[in-house]
Each structure stands twice: as C-alpha cells, then as structure tokens.
Amino acid sequence: MEDIVLRELNEKGEIPNSLEFAEQHKFDVKAFDGVLKSLLVTDYVALQNLDVSEIELTEDGKKAVDQGAPEYRLVSLLKVGEEKSKDELVKEFKDDKELTLATNKAMQCKWIKSSKTSITRTAEEVKDETAKALHSLLESKDPNKHDKALIQDLKKRKMIQIKQIKYYKVSKGNSYKTKRVVEVADLTAEMLSKGTWKDTAFKKLNTNAMGKEIATGNFHPLWQMRDEFRSILLELGFEEMKTDSFVESAFWDFDVLFTAQQHPAREMQDTFYLSEPATCKTLPADLCEQVKKAHEGGSFGSIGYRYKWKEEEARKNIMRTHTTPCSARVLLLLAEETKKTGKFKPKKYFSIDRVFRNEATDATHLFEFHQVEGLIADFNLTLRELMGIIGEFFKRLGITNLKYKPTYNPYTEPSMEVYGYHPTLKKMVEVGNSGIFRPEMLLALGLPEDVSVIAWGLSLERPAMIHYKLDNIRNLLGHQVPLKFLKNNPIFCLP
Ligand code: PHE
C-alpha cells in the first residue's frame, strides 16, 4: 500500500479522496488508514481532513425499493372499490404500526377511504412515488444534489439516514520520497567498523520523548530525612554513636539510666521482653556495683530510691525503648578514657536509629520508630547551653520560636519538653525531650564530678510527617507504605 501511495503522489501530485482510492485498489480501509498515519508521522505525506455526508437507505428504505412503499403495497392489495378488514390486511405487514403508517400515507394521496375497522380503495391509478424517489437517491448519494423537502420527508419516515464520511486529501509531505527509506534507530559497532553508517538513514532523535522509566531502588523518604539530620549534626561538630544493638539488657536501657526497677515504663505492656535468650550473659561488674549503689541510695550525694536492686531484673533482654542506652555506653567509654589519660576531653555525640515500644498502633503510633539523639559532655554546662544547642538544631530544621515545658525523666534533672510552631497545623506541637543527665547516672558511669552532660532526643517520624504532610504514620513506615510514595517522592531537602 505504501509503495502504491508514494507512486501515485509521484505521478499525480495528490490523492483527492483517500476513501475512493482505497476502494479502487481494494484496500482494507482500516489498514490503509494506518499506512497513511505512519507516512504522516515520518512526514512523507501531508493529510487534509475532509468529510462528506452520504445518503444511506435504512432497512425500511431498502424494503420500499425492493417491494414498494408501504402505502403502495396497501392499495395493491385491493381492487378499485373493494373493502377489506384491517384485521385481514395487517397480515401483509410487519405490524399494526406499519399498517397505520401505510394507511395514513395512502389517505394523504387520496388512494383509499378508511373506517375504524376496514379500508376501501377509491383511486384507480396509483404510482409509487416514494419508491421512485428512493431510486433516484441511489444515483447520487450526495444529499445536496436532491430536493431538501424530499430528503427531510424520507428522513422523517425513517427510510434514509445521512451518514458523515471522513476521508483525507493526501499530498506530498516535506520528507516525501518515491520509496520509503528504512531508518534505523541505533548506530552499531559494525556500522562504524565497516563504514556502512555513511549510507544508512537514521531516525531523528526525539528529544521530547519521555525516557524509559528506569527500575532502580529508591531511598526511603525517612532515610532521606535521616541523612539530612545527620548532615546537620555533623556540621554542628557531633560524632555519630554506635547504635547496632536493637536488643539491649534492661540494665543499659533502664538501670544505668537511673530508672528504678519498679518504674512503669519497664512493664510488659510498654516494653518488649525477649523470650529467647531471655537474659544477657554478663554485665560489667564494676558498673553493676555503681548502679546498684545509685539505686539503693547513700552514694553520689543522693538518697537513691531506697529499695533492694536486683541483678536478675537488670539482666533481662529487651528491645531497646530509646537510644539513650547508646549514649550511656559512649559515656562509659569516655569515663574510662578519662581515667586512663587523666584528662577529660569534651565530646559531642549523636545517633539516629530504631527503637521499639509495646504500643497499640494507630495513626500516630507504631511499635517501632526512629529516634534522633544528641548529647554534649563538657565542664560547666547548664540549661543555657542546652537551650542554645537545641535552638540551633531546630533552627536548621526550619523550626523556630521554641518553647520549653518542665517534665520528668528518671535520668535527667531538670528535664524539658521542647515545643515548636507547626506552620500547617498552626499551633505549637511537641518536637522533642531534653535534660541534663543526673549525677546518679554520670558518677556511676565514672565521669569526673565537674563534668555535666546535656542531651536531647526526638523522633524522626514526627518531622517527616510534617514535611510530607502525612496524617497517618503507617503511610511513612511499615508494610502499608504505598510503593508509589517511595518512587515518586522528590529528594528531601530541608529549608
Ligand atoms: N530518651 C528520651 C525519650 O525517649 C529522650 C531524651 C534523650 C530525653 C536525652 C532527655 C535526654 O523520649
């Protein structure tokens, strides 16, 4: 088909009517249409959209041409003057309706008389003008070549309908050639080595085409958030702590952090206890001794909790409920280093990792989430320094005008909740928790008396939900996260 079209254009310059052309050459119209479209895309041809209306006979119209119009068929059933009942006549028609239409038309022509039940022929000579008119329409299907009133009438009688036929005028396109040159998409090594690229036609590059979607892995939005937090903390001079122990002993998660063994946070409904292995093998003996002293009281200038501290309770394995045990572990290393060198070196540490709590899950709670934690160990640190570093940290997250509210943590005194203004919720929301570690904890770890440690912590999910405008935490972390959210979310960038 392609060759024939291109040859025709070469000889005649254009094809005035694509439909007629297809008919002449016995082409399948649909396939021919496809060929024209593909020639158009490569600019071999230009197409001008045209349409004509064409008269088409309906089933009733065809029947009138073959067997006569209904009114003519009706009179032909009667001799002049003869009367027949409608019940008998209807047998010759499709249904009552057809007989009624035939009767009405025949009466209009003054061919018959009709009563309620019978019909009598009155006219002697009758001519089937309707069938004749329909015949004449077949000679030219163009409705404009016929009497308007006649077309209207036949349309109303549902004997014809006017169909819109679309076709093209085909002419040469800008890249017209007498024969299609097959263009190749890719330049191959062989074409280069053999030099055949010189005689090869290449497809034009379509720089507007969407590239093929590449199936790559994506950074989880929460992970991007973590990276952003990490770089802020690194810029502020913090070192990253080791956080690779999801399973901790209660000793590190609670006891070292001066949390009494009766504290409600340690209960099973808040903390996941491991059944296998249920306890840890060893605890650092010296530290154990110091922690016991802190809890039982009478040491470190503290009356303690005044109960009998039990090592069995401390040995229980749990899923860590916060990352503060990681802070306790680095503080122990710092204390040991100080003892070894005889000199305390101020330090700033941070961590971002997963923690676990036995919570009923809902739109804002999961039983695992991430905590960001920071601490500074130095001489003479006060609330002033704590508020200063927290202010700087949140400023870099885009949260300013912080407010503080006193709170209670077993391991810090004083302790403060941190509130920041939420621009979407238009109110103050809790963004973190903070405090100065208690001497009961720091002295038990072996740090020098004049060293203080200020610290703060927050969840990673809260700012991520604010940033991604999520109201359900399950859309951010866990098995319900829509994959599309992971694929489509742009690289996260703090203000
Ligand atoms: N561990 C606290 C929490 O889980 C956060 C915190 C860290 C508070 C350090 C004070 C100091 O909420």
CATH of the domain at 341: 3.30.930.10
On whether residue 262 sits in a domain, the answer given is yes
On whether residue 321 sits in a domain, the answer given is yes
On whether residue 180 sits in a domain, the answer given is no
Report how far residue 34's alpha carbon sits from residue 47's, in angstroms, rounded to the nearest whole number: 13
> How far does the centroid of ligand 1 lie from the alpha carbon of residue 458, in Å?
7
H or E stretch including 194?
Answer: helix 189-194
On whether residue 394 sits in a domain, the answer given is yes
> How far does the centroid of ligand 1 lie from the alpha carbon of residue 53, in Å?
81
Which tokens sit at 72?
A: 């003519």
- Helix boundaries (H) for 261-357: 285-296, 311-315, 324-341
> Domain span at residue 236?
222-488
CA-based nearest residue to 145, from 136, 154, 156: 136
Beta 45-57 vs 160-172: how paired, if at all? antiparallel
Nearest CA to ligand 1 atom 2: 457
Nearest CA to ligand 1 atom 8: 434
pLDDT in the model for residue 492: 60
pLDDT in the model for residue 320: 97
CA-based nearest residue to 84, from 123, 124, 120, 122: 120
> How far does the centroid of ligand 1 lie from the alpha carbon of residue 451, in Å?
19
Task: Indicate which atom in ligand 1 lies nearest the CA of residue 373.
Answer: 7
Alpha-carbon dihedral sign for residues 251, 253, 256, 259: negative
Print burial letters for 52-88: b (CB count within 10 Å at least 16), e (below 16).
eeebebeebbebbbeebbbbbbbbebbeeeeeeebee
Residue type, position 191, single letter: M
> How far does the centroid of ligand 1 lie from the alpha carbon of residue 415, in Å?
9
Report how far residue 358's alpha carbon sits from residue 269's, in angstroms, rounded to the nearest whole number: 6
Task: Indicate which atom in ligand 1 lies nearest the CA of residue 434.
Answer: 10
Which tokens sit at 338?
A: 């100080």
> How far does the centroid of ligand 1 lie from the alpha carbon of residue 460, in Å?
13
Report how far residue 102's alpha carbon sits from residue 112's, in angstroms, rounded to the nearest whole number: 11
pLDDT in the model for residue 362: 86
- Give the N- to C-terminal CA distance of the chain in Å, as an integer: 61
Burial class (CB in 10 A: 0-12, 13-18, 19+), 130: buried
Going through 216-259 in order, the beta strands assigned E by DSSP cover 239-240, 247-249
On whether residue 442 sits in a domain, the answer given is yes
On whether residue 123 sits in a domain, the answer given is no
Which tokens sit at 177?
A: 């050639």
Task: Indicate which atom in ligand 1 lies nearest the CA of residue 355.
Answer: 4
Measure Cα distances from 244 to 63, 65, 182, 226, 443 in Å.
Answer: 89, 92, 61, 16, 25
Domain count for the chain, please give it.
1
On whether residue 311 sits in a domain, the answer given is yes
Coil, helix or strand at residue 446: coil
> How far does the centroid of ligand 1 lie from the alpha carbon of residue 296, in Å?
23
Task: Indicate which atom in ligand 1 lies nearest the CA of residue 374.
Answer: 9
CA-based nearest residue to 436, from 424, 426, 420, 447: 447
Task: Indicate which atom in ligand 1 lies nearest the CA of residue 437.
Answer: 11
Q: Ligand 1: which of 266, 322, 461 to mutate, most ligand atoms within 8 Å of CB? A: 322
Print burial letters for 264-277: b (CB count within 10 Å at least 16), e (below 16).
eebeeeebbeeeee
Decide: 483 and 472 in contact? Cβ < 8 Å: no
> How far does the centroid of ligand 1 lie from the alpha carbon of residue 70, in Å?
96
pLDDT in the model for residue 493: 60
Task: Indicate which atom in ligand 1 lies nearest the CA of residue 375.
Answer: 9
Q: Which residues of the chain fall short of a pLDDT of 70?
A: 490-495
Q: Following DSSP, what letter does each residue of 82-140 receive, concatenated?
A: -EEEHHHHGGGSSSHHHHHHHHHHHHHTT-EEE-SSEEEE--S----HHHHHHHHHHH-
Task: Indicate which atom in ligand 1 lies nearest the CA of residue 321.
Answer: 4
Coil, helix or strand at residue 309: coil
> How far does the centroid of ligand 1 lie from the alpha carbon of residue 480, in Å?
28
Task: Indicate which atom in ligand 1 lies nearest the CA of residue 433.
Answer: 8
Query: Residue 476 gets which letter from DSSP?
Result: T
Q: Ligand 1: which of 433, 434, 441 to mutate, most ligand atoms within 8 Å of CB? A: 433
> How far does the centroid of ligand 1 lie from the alpha carbon of residue 65, in Å?
95
Q: Name all residues whose Cβ lies below 6 A of ligand 1.
A: 322, 324, 373, 409, 412, 433-435, 455-457
Q: 100: which residues sit within 8 A by CB, 6+ positions away?
A: none
The 10 Å Cβ neighbour count of residue 6 is 19
> How far does the centroid of ligand 1 lie from the alpha carbon of residue 289, in Å?
24
Cis status, amide bond into 277, omega within 30 of 0: yes
Nearest CA to ligand 1 atom 5: 457
Confidence (pTM)? 0.61
Query: Residue 198 gets which letter from DSSP?
Result: G
Beginning with the edge strand found earlier in the chain, give each strand of the sheet holding 403-409 in spatial order: 239-240, 347-356, 368-379, 451-459, 427-437, 412-422, 403-409
On whether residue 34 sits in a domain, the answer given is no
Query: Residue 215 gets which letter from DSSP?
Result: -
